[in-house]
Amino acid sequence: MADAVESVLEQWREARPDLDPSPIGVVGRVLRLARMWDREIREFLAQFGLEPGEFDILSTLRRSGEPDGLTASSFLRASLVTSGAITLRIDRMQAKGLVIRVRDPLDRRSIRISLSSQGLELVDRVLPLHFANHMRLIQELNGDERDSLEGILSNLLETRGDLYGSKSVEA
């Protein structure tokens, strides 16, 4: 049985035999998987009252290892979201009691963002389940296939400028 993209490729081969539709085979499948996985991850996180962007903030703060939180600039360097998305999300999460903002005692111009006790409890409860959910999404791949796919995708991201520490892309 062929996937949905294969029928598109066959249609292009018939309609335009002078063109090579094979790039659509790769890009189309990656895009379809991204949409499917995005929907499944959203549904998973919704069980905990979270949106993906909110979980990104919680997990960034948790993995930073900074007990006093992060300044906005250091948060942007450590996270997978853009600066335009941060303020609104932080506002919503503060209203939910998941994060707190405090003035940096060393630089009164800076605000530090940190997990509240409720936010820490939530991220610690959800994180193992989140990792297991991601494993479920790729369970059809064996270890070598996962490693190979990870390397290929990493290479594509790097060649498109998505480098470690870059602030240009939102995940």
Give 148-171 pLDDT, tens digit per residue. 999 999 999 999 988 765 544 444
Q: What is the pTM of this model?
A: 0.82
pLDDT (0 to 100) of residue 104: 76
Whether residues 57 and 38 share a domain: the answer is no
Q: What is the CATH number of the domain that holds 106?
A: 1.10.10.10
Residues linked to residue 101 through DSSP beta bridges, in sequence order: 113
Whether residues 4 and 67 share a domain: the answer is no
Q: Is residue 116 classed exposed, middle or buried when 0-12, 13-18 and 19+ CB atoms within 10 A define those classes?
A: middle
Whether residues 154 and 131 share a domain: the answer is yes
82 within some domain: yes
**HEC letters along 31-87:** HHHHHHHHHHHHHHHHCCCCCHHHHHHHHHHHHHCCCCCEEHHHHHHHCCCCHHHHH
Whether residues 90 and 55 share a domain: the answer is yes
Residues 17-46 have a mean pLDDT of 97
pLDDT (0 to 100) of residue 103: 82
Give the residue numbers spanning the domain of 26.
1-46
Rounded Cα distance, 36 and 31, in Å? 9
169 within some domain: no
Angle (CA) 22 26 32, round 5° = 125
- Identity at 83, one-letter amino acid code: S
Considering only CA atoms, which of 153, 64, 47 is closest in space to residue 113? 64
Whether residues 8 and 30 share a domain: the answer is yes
Whether residues 97 and 151 share a domain: the answer is yes
Whether residues 72 and 147 share a domain: the answer is yes
Whether residues 92 and 22 share a domain: the answer is no
| Residue 132, both tokens | 């297991």
How many structural domains is the chain composed of?
Answer: 2
